[in-house]
Amino acid sequence: MRIDYNKGGLLTPELIQPNRQSGTSLPVNKSKVMLVFPPDWFPSEPYLSLPTLTAFIRAAGHEVVQKDVNLEMYDWYFSADFLRRVLKRVPQQLERLKKLSRSRDLTEAEIDLQLALCECTRSRMTELAEKAEEAKRIVRSPDLYDIEKLEWAINAFREVTTTISLVYSPARICMPPMETDLSYKVFMSSEILEAIEDSQVNVYRDVFEHILKPAIVEAQPDIIGISIVLQQQLFSSMTFCALIKQQFPNIHLTIGGNTVTRLRDVLPEASNLFSLFDSAVVYEGETAFLKLIEAVGAGSDLSQVPNLLYRDSTGIHVNTATSSENMAALPPPDFDGLPLEKYFVPDRVLPYLATRGCYWGRCEFCDHGEGYTAGYRTKKVQDIIKEVSFLKEKYQTRHFHFTDESYPPALFRKLTNKLVEHNMDIAWTTHIRFEKSLLDDEVWSMAQEAGCKYLHMGYESGSERVLQLMDKATTRDVIQRSLELSSRHGVWNHIMGFFGFPGERYEDAKVSTQLLEDNKEHVHSIGFGTFDLSKHTPVAKNPEKFGVTFYKNPEWDLALDYYFTVKEGLGVEDAERVFEEFEQDHYEGWDLKIFIREYVFLYVSHFGTNKLPALQFKISSEDSQSALASAS
């Protein structure tokens, strides 16, 4: 089924901006805005939401301060200053455990925690601080391209965050992977509110005091906007909101981003949570946020601001008017003010978005269309070339992450041709579907020459029966030939799939994995999981069609996916077992020493090949011979 973009009264640009051309005329009341990107996200490149909004708001004449709190938090975690703070918390944590032991026997885990805390001496913290600083130096320098040094750095990050976790226990802080757990449920507003006040586990309270609060005091913004991309970021974001409203009550505080859009139907009902901020921007944010800034600056009514939920003395209101952006009128992202030198990479990687929405828009498992109120749109290829060239020169980088949901085949062909024609000399990565229209050796030869280094490919399943259930409109032959073509032309392909789509049988899952095994020489890395029934997917909206029954727990008011059962095929637990089986028994060459996508991308770009056996935990003789052949 096609994505339904009809989510409100869509206003035309003329109605939204009657007195502004391309957002360049100066506002009557100039405002100062702070945009915040919260933890947790791997700090390898800026997230695009802040630079995109910044460019649009600055073009309208307002002052913008960009604050990547996530980046600054990890820079602070891996420092002597933060580890001294950890050392100071050790006696407090030991005293907490001592009090617990008076009322009951400590659990085995709590006894282990006591013993680990006793090893957190001053000399140990000094040693960890030296390791942390060296690890940061490695990932920000050419030493990252020495796999042994990079492995050491990643292990050092894990060692440091494991130690930090001791003093915030029972919270668990982890990087990488990004799996920080405050021991509260993120899908319950009541537990988020409890987590905010829990100074024992909530490390984000300390992050606010050390990083965000001083920035607010210095900038004195009129409006603060927080971009929430992942649901897990609700813990840090709501903590920041609560403390901002307590300490800076006169600042208008708004939230936005992908997760906020997905929660738009339940946020008004979670009134206690909504009391932590003043408004929420849903769907696309540029025009809506600008209109909000103007309304707040003028002290006017917020009821005419599109894409807005807001709170006033009479309650919480949901505006029915919606807006979407004209891609041709949007300026290129503005990264000025972000500390680009602090990201955990040796070569700057910048994100860039040329399209909005998905050109295909029919996958039954996908809910990406929930972020938009208008259909698929794209910039013209000549404008893409112009803007990428501008960003390359301004920020002195040749590495780009094209963050489009799925790059359209026609645009892919046009772009690669234009990149070659203009001799752009960039390296880039993006996301793509398996398309019959791309099964041409010349297409991939041009992509290679144009600097395409790494592709996330939406595999989902190798069973044609399941692909038809998903409405993927591709075939095993198209998949196989695409893998061969991309691989032979130097592009690293990362294959993304999952088990347990409603109706999938065990034999379908085996067919799916066997296709990859049969083509392992052309598959470079994999990312598999199990099917999640997200609330906004076509499956959740038409459960009878897919033989699905799901349950909504009324206490889980912020849940974005549901537990479900199926009439036939693999159930949730069955899919987990198939996944575990695949994890234990698949081609060893797909097990990499590093799994951070920007690092793999940079490795392929740096070494100029997608044959990188040094990244593998175990190298088969076949891989070694292939690498030697490539080198010779």
93-94-100 Cα angle (round to 5): 90
Q: What is the pLDDT of residues 530-540, one digit of tens each?
A: 999 999 999 99
Percent of the chain with pLDDT over 90: 91
Please tell me the predicted confidence (pLDDT) of residue 7. Answer: 76
Long-range CB contacts (< 8 A, 24+ apart) of 8-14?
Answer: 8/320, 8/321, 8/322, 8/373, 9/320, 9/321, 9/322, 10/322, 10/323, 10/324, 10/373, 10/374, 11/306, 11/321, 11/322, 11/323, 13/287, 13/326, 13/329
Exposure pattern of 195-204 as b/e (b: 16+ CB <10 Å)?
A: bbebebbbbb
pLDDT band at 23 (very low <50, low <70, confident <90, very high): very low
Yes or no: say if 203 and 234 are a contact pair by the CB < 8 Å rule.
Answer: no
Measured CA to CA, the distance from residue 154 to residue 300 in angstroms comes to 50
- Is the pLDDT score of 38 beyond 60? yes
Please tell me the predicted confidence (pLDDT) of residue 26. Answer: 47
Exposure pattern of 238-254 as b/e (b: 16+ CB <10 Å)?
A: bbbbbbbbeeeeebbbb
Mean pLDDT of 584-595: 95
Average pLDDT score over the chain: 94
DSSP secondary structure, 128-183, as one string: HHHHHHHHHHHHTSGGGGSHHHHHHHHHHHHHHHHHHHHHHTTSB--TTTT--B-S
Measured CA to CA, the distance from residue 111 to residue 468 in angstroms comes to 53
Partnered with residue 351 across adjacent β-strands are 401
Q: What is the pLDDT of residues 548-573, one digit of tens each?
A: 999 999 999 999 999 999 999 999 99
Burial of 107 (0-12, 13-18, 19+ CB in 10 A): exposed
Mean pLDDT of 281-302: 97
Q: What is the pLDDT of residues 143-183, one digit of tens each?
A: 999 999 999 999 999 999 999 999 999 999 999 999 899 99
- Is the pLDDT score of 346 beyond 60? yes
Comparing 249-263, 501-515, 566-580, 613-627, the range with the smallest average pLDDT is 613-627
Measured CA to CA, the distance from residue 339 to residue 67 in angstroms comes to 9
Percent of the chain with pLDDT over 70: 95
Element (H or E) spanning 417, and its range?
Answer: helix 409-421
Q: What is the pLDDT of residues 353-397, one digit of tens each?
A: 999 999 999 999 999 888 899 889 999 999 999 999 999 999 999
Measured CA to CA, the distance from residue 478 to residue 513 in angstroms comes to 16
Structure tokens at 441: 């050796």
Q: What is the pLDDT of residues 495-541, one digit of tens each?
A: 999 999 999 999 999 999 999 999 999 999 999 999 999 999 999 99
Measured CA to CA, the distance from residue 438 to residue 483 in angstroms comes to 11
Yes or no: say if 1 and 32 are a contact pair by the CB < 8 Å rule.
Answer: no
Burial of 213 (0-12, 13-18, 19+ CB in 10 A): middle
Backbone torsion region of residue 423, taken as left when φ is above 0, otherwise alpha when ψ lies between -120 and 50, otherwise beta? left
Element (H or E) spanning 564, and its range?
Answer: strand 561-566
Closest by CA to 601, choosing from 427, 356, 414, is 427
Measured CA to CA, the distance from residue 123 to residue 119 in angstroms comes to 10
**β-pairing, 548-551 with 399-402?**
unpaired
Mean pLDDT of 192-211: 98
> Domains of the chain, with CATH numbers?
25-71+199-319 (3.40.50.280), 74-185 (no CATH), 347-631 (3.80.30.20)
Closest by CA to 290, choosing from 267, 256, 320, 259, is 256
**β-pairing, 492-499 with 525-530?**
parallel
Length of the chain: 632
